[in-house]
C-alpha cells in the first residue's frame, strides 16, 4: 500500500489503539491553534490566569481529567513586549496547592514562581513581572516541589512569547496562526479507555515518565495545517516530562533562527535538532519547495502505527510525522531571511571570575534515598541529588554575587539530563565535553549533561533572597521532584 492509498483508506477509519497502549490516527486532524492573549499593544487591568481542573479529549474520543490555565488543558499563548511589567493575577482553582513558574524569564526570585511561592487552593497570587529581556520564547509551568511532574503533565503549562522592537520589525514571519505557529510537543500515555494515564513506579523515577503517544497542542499526532507559499515559522517547545525529541523535516533541512533565550546570530541549517524537555527552538520552513512537508519527530524508538506512518513519510521506522504542512495556492511571506538575526558576541570564558561544579547523582546509595525522603522529596524507593545532596527547601546551596560572570560546569553519574538554571540566560561553552552544535551556541537556559563536563557562561543580574531563592535542576520532572535540584541566592 502506498502512502496515498493508505491515507485514503485510513481517513475513514477512526482512531486506532496501537500496540500496547499507544494511540494514533491514520489521517491527520487539524492542528489546534492555541488561543493567544496578546498584550503587546497595551495592558488593560490585571492579566488573569485561572488554574483550573477540567476534562479534555486528546483525540481518543474520551475525556481525560486535566488541568489548564484559562482553558481545560494548557494555557493561552501569552504574547508580551520587552519593557512591559506584567500584572498577573494567578488564581488556584485546581483544588491542591501549586505554584506557577515563568521558565526563561530574567526576573527577581520573589516573582519567579518557584517552590517557595506556593498558591493555596482558592488563593490568588499577584506578581508584577518585569520583562527586561529580548524577544524569546519562554514558558510557564507548575513548580510545586514533589508535584511538579504530575501537575505539569496534567496540563499546568503554557507559552509566553516576548517580542521587542527588533523582532516586531524584523523581516521574518510573525502573523500568529497564519505563518507563525506555536507548537507544544508532549508525550502521553493513555489507558485502554483512552484516558490520559500517569503511573509512577521506581523505574519511572529512574528514567522519568515517558508516554508512547505524541501530542501536539493537546491533540494526538499527526496534525495538519494549511500554509501559504513562502516562509513559515514554527516556535517549538518540548514540554515532555522526560523525553528527548529529535526533530527533522520530511523534505529538506531545518533552518533554526532562535533558541531558548532569543535569536541566534544568524540562521543555522541542520538535518535534525535534539531537543530536551524544557528546551525551545524556532525554525523556518520554506513551503515553496514542495506541496507538502512534515515536521518529523523521533522518540528514539517507534512502534506500531507510528513506525509505519514514519516509513510512509520517508522518516524511516524511527521517526513519525508530528505536523503535516499542506501548501495553499496563495502567497504568504516571501521576504528573504536577514543575514544577521541578532548581535551576539562570542562567549568569552575569560570574563568569568568564579567556577562552580555540579555533579548530578542518580542514587544507588541508601544515604541519598534516606536524605531525599527526609527532606520532602518524592522518589519512590531511590534518591537523587546534586553534589551528594538531595534538594532541601531549607538549605541554600550556592550564593552568587549579582553582576558577576561565572562558569557553571555540570556532569552526571549516569544518563543524559537536561539542566536548567532560573533567572538567567547563559551561553554553552561545552556540552558533554565537546563544543556545542551550531544551533545551541546562542542564548540558552537549558544544557544537556552526561558523564563529561558541560560548561555554561552565566551572569545573574537580578536578586534572589534566602526566602525566594532561584532553583537549578534537572528538567526531567520526576528527577526534579526526587531531589535533583538545588537553590541559590543572588545578592
Ligand atoms: Cu535528570
Output the CA 103–ligand 1 centroid distance in Å: 17
The Cα 412–Cα 140 span in angstroms is 26
Between β-strands 196-197 and 180-190, what pairing exists: parallel, antiparallel or unpaired? antiparallel
Output the CA 474–ligand 1 centroid distance in Å: 5
Q: What is the pLDDT of residue 300?
A: 65
Output the CA 145–ligand 1 centroid distance in Å: 15
pTM of this prediction? 0.93
The Cα 327–Cα 467 span in angstroms is 53
Give the model confidence (pLDDT) of 359-403 as tens digits: 999 976 888 999 999 999 998 888 999 999 999 999 999 999 999
Range in 118-132, 165-179, 218-232, 369-383 the model is least confident about? 369-383
Q: Which residue has the cell 481517513?
A: 11
The Cα 417–Cα 446 span in angstroms is 10
Residue 26 scores a pLDDT above 50: yes
62's grid cell: 474520551
Give the model confidence (pLDDT) of 280-301 as tens digits: 999 999 999 899 999 999 886 4
Mean model confidence pLDDT for the chain: 91
Confirm if 375 and 392 have CB atoms less than 8 A apart: yes
Q: What are phi and psi for residue 352, nearest 5 degrees?
A: -80, 140
The Cα 233–Cα 75 span in angstroms is 21
DSSP summary character for residue 345: P
Output the CA 415–ligand 1 centroid distance in Å: 8
The count of other CB atoms within 10 Å of the CB of residue 9 is 12
Q: Is 2.60.40.420 the CATH classification of the domain at 171-331?
A: yes
Q: What is the CATH number of domain 349-490?
A: 2.60.40.420
Q: What is the pLDDT of residue 337?
A: 80
SS3 158: strand
Q: What is the pLDDT of residue 10?
A: 43
The Cα 119–Cα 121 span in angstroms is 7
Q: Nearest-CA neighbor of 475 among 398, 433, 415?
A: 415
Radius of gyration of the chain (CA): 21
Output the CA 453–ligand 1 centroid distance in Å: 15
Output the CA 484–ligand 1 centroid distance in Å: 7
Q: What are phi and psi for residue 101, nearest 5 degrees?
A: -100, 140
Output the CA 149–ligand 1 centroid distance in Å: 12
For residue 148, count CB atoms less than 10 angstroms from its CB and return exposed for 0-12, middle for 13-18, buried for 19 or more. Answer: buried
Residue 309 scores a pLDDT above 80: no
Output the CA 390–ligand 1 centroid distance in Å: 12
Output the CA 121–ligand 1 centroid distance in Å: 29
The Cα 13–Cα 212 span in angstroms is 21
pLDDT-based confidence at residue 5 (cuts at 50, 70, 90): very low
Output the CA 36–ligand 1 centroid distance in Å: 32
**Contacts (Cβ under 8 Å, ≥6 apart) of 200:** 150, 209, 380, 478
Is 349-490 in the same CATH topology as 31-169? yes
Output the CA 86–ligand 1 centroid distance in Å: 32
Higher pLDDT, 271 or 10: 271
Output the CA 391–ligand 1 centroid distance in Å: 13
Percentage of residues in the chain with pLDDT exceeding 70? 91
The Cα 235–Cα 369 span in angstroms is 39
Output the CA 255–ligand 1 centroid distance in Å: 29
pLDDT-based confidence at residue 277 (cuts at 50, 70, 90): very high
Give the model confidence (pLDDT) of 89-141 as tens digits: 999 999 999 999 999 999 999 999 999 999 999 999 999 999 999 999 999 99
The Cα 15–Cα 213 span in angstroms is 12
**Contacts (Cβ under 8 Å, ≥6 apart) of 357:** 387, 408, 409, 410, 411
Output the CA 235–ligand 1 centroid distance in Å: 25
Output the CA 369–ligand 1 centroid distance in Å: 15
Between β-strands 157-163 and 77-81, what pairing exists: parallel, antiparallel or unpaired? parallel
Output the CA 476–ligand 1 centroid distance in Å: 5
Confirm if 294 and 325 have CB atoms less than 8 A apart: yes
Output the CA 416–ligand 1 centroid distance in Å: 7
Q: What is the pLDDT of residue 471?
A: 98
The Cα 417–Cα 385 span in angstroms is 13
Output the CA 284–ligand 1 centroid distance in Å: 30
Q: Is 3.40.1170.10 the CATH classification of the domain at 31-169?
A: no
Range in 138-142, 234-238, 244-248 the model is least confident about? 244-248
The Cα 257–Cα 268 span in angstroms is 7
DSSP 432-469: TTBPPPGGGSSSBSEEEE-SS-EEEEEE--S-B-SSS-
Q: What is the pLDDT of residue 57?
A: 97
Cα 129–chain centre separation:
20
Where do the domains of the chain lie? 31-169, 171-331, 349-490
CA distances in angstroms from 88 to 41, 179, 326, listed in the order given: 16, 29, 38
pLDDT-based confidence at residue 487 (cuts at 50, 70, 90): very high
Amino acid at each position: 500500500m502506498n502512502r496515498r492509498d493508505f491515507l485514503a483508506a485510513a481517513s475513514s477509519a477512526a482512531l486506532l489503539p496501537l500496540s500496547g497502549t499507544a494511540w494514533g490516527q491514520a489521517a491527520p486532524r487539524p492542528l489546534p491553534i492555541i488561543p493567544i492573549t496578546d498584550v503587546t499593544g497595551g495592558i488593560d487591568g490585571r492579566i488573569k490566569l485561572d488554574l483550573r481542573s477540567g476534562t479534555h479529549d486528546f483525540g481518543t474520543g474520551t475525556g481525560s481529567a486535566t488541568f489548564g490555565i484559562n482553558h481545560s488543558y494548557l494555557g493561552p499563548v501569552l504574547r508580551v513586549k520587552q519593557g512591559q511589567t506584567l500584572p498577573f493575577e494567578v488564581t488556584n482553582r485546581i483544588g491542591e496547592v501549586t505554584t506557577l513558574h515563568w521558565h526563561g524569564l530574567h526576573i527577581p526570585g520573589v516573582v519567579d514562581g518557584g517552590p517557595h511561592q506556593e498558591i493555596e487552593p482558592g488563593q490568588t497570587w499577584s506578581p508584577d513581572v518585569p520583562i527586561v529581556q529580548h524577544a524569546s520564547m519562554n514558558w510557564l509551568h507548575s513548580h510545586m516541589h514533589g508535584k511538579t511532574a504530575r501537575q505539569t503533565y496534567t496540563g499546568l503549562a503554557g507559552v509566553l512569547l516576548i517580542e521587542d522592537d527588533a523582532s516586531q520589525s524584523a523581516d521574518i514571519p510573525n502573523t500568529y496562526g497564519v505563518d507563525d505557529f506555536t507548537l507544544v510537543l508532549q508525550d502521553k500515555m493513555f489507558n485502554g479507555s483512552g484516558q490520559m494515564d500517569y503511573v509512577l513506579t521506581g523505574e519511572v523515577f529512574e528514567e522519568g515518565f515517558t508516554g508512547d503517544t505524541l501530542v501536539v497542542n493537546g491533540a494526538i499526532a499527526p496534525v495538519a495545517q494549511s500554509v501559504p507559499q513562502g516562509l513559515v515559522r514554527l516556535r517549538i517547545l518540548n514540554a515532555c516530562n522526560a523525553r528527548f525529541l529529535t526533530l527533522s523535516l520530511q523534505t529538506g533541512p531545518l533552518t533554526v533562527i532562535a533558541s531558548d533565550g532569543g535569536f541566534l546570530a544568524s540562521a543555522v541549517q541542520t538535518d535534525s535538532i535534539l531537543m530536551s524537555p524544557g528546551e525551545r527552538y524556532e525554525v523556518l520552513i520554506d513551503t515553496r519547495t514542495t506541496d507538502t512537508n512534515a515536521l518529523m519527530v523521533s522518540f528514539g524508538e517507534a512502534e506500531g502505527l507510528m513506525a509505519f506512518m514514519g516509513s510512509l513519510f520517508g522518516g524511516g521506522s524511527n521517526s513519525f510525522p508530528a505536523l503535516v504542512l499542506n501548501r495553499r495556492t496563495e502567497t504568504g511571506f516571501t521576504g528573504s531571511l536577514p543575514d544577521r538575526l541578532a548581535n551576539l558576541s562570542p562567549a568569552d570564558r575569560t570574563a568569568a571570575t568564579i567556577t562552580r561544579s555540579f555533579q548530578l547523582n542518580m542514587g544507588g546509595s541508601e544515604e541519598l534515598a534516606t536524605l531525599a525522603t527526609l527532606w520532602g522529596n518524592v522518589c519512590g524507593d531511590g534518591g537523587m541529588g546534586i553534589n551528594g545532596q538531595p534538594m532541601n527547601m531549607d538549605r541554600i546551596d550556592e550564593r552568587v554575587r549579582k553582576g558577576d560572570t561565572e562558569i557553571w560546569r555540570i556532569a552526571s553519574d549516569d544518563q543524559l539530563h537536561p539542566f536548567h538554571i532560573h533567572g538567567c540566560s547563559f551561553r554553552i561553552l561545552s556540552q558533554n565535553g565537546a563544543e556545542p552544535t551550531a544551533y545551541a551556541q546562542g542564548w540558552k537556559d537549558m544544557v544537556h549533561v552526561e558523564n563529561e563536563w558541560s560548561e555554561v557562561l552565566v551572569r545573574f543580574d537580578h536578586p534572589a533572597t534566602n526566602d525566594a531563592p532561584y532553583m537549578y535542576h534537572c528538567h526531567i520532572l520526576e528527577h526534579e521532584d526526587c531531589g535533583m535540584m538545588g537553590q541559590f541566592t543572588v545578592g
